[in-house]
Amino acid sequence: MREWFADYLEACNRHDLDALRSLIDPAVRRAHLPGGVDAWISDLAELYSAFPDWRVRRIQLLVEDDRLAAHLRSSGTHAGTFRGIAPTGRRANVAEFGFYRLAGGRVAEFTGSADAELLAQISPSN
């Protein structure tokens, strides 16, 4: 499972949407977000387009049975429109927490921190 997560993070850092699609179940369920791999890939495509240098670093990873709990640190420069916010050129640096359930080598369920911290850092009012 640790190797699987390392592969997942490498695909995230390459912005390799095809590789990520292969690691996510087509019917993935995401808490408080639209389900399905297409919705997840669309969200990542928007993020990578807005933050072309976006990188994710693992701080801590816990593994139990078919589940992973990850504390991550992500950062990038806001160079494109994200969630309706025009590019600011600001560098964003956010803590992220994700909980994954794997089935058949793919993410079947996910819940984690939302975009609030990221949006606060790029908001025009800040």
Tell me the whole-structure pTM to 2 decimals.
0.94
For 26-48, write each residue's pLDDT tens digit. Answer: 999 999 888 999 999 999 999 99
18/11 Cα distance (integer angstroms):
9
Look at the chain and report how many structural domains it folds into: 1
For 59-117, write each residue's pLDDT tens digit. Answer: 999 999 999 999 999 999 999 999 999 999 999 999 999 999 999 999 999 999 888 99
Tell me, what CATH number does 93's domain have? 3.10.450.50
20/119 Cα distance (integer angstroms):
24
45 is in which domain, residue-wise? 2-122
**Element (H or E) spanning 17, and its range?**
helix 17-23
DSSP string covering 23-48: HEEEEEEETTS--SHHHHHHHHHHHH
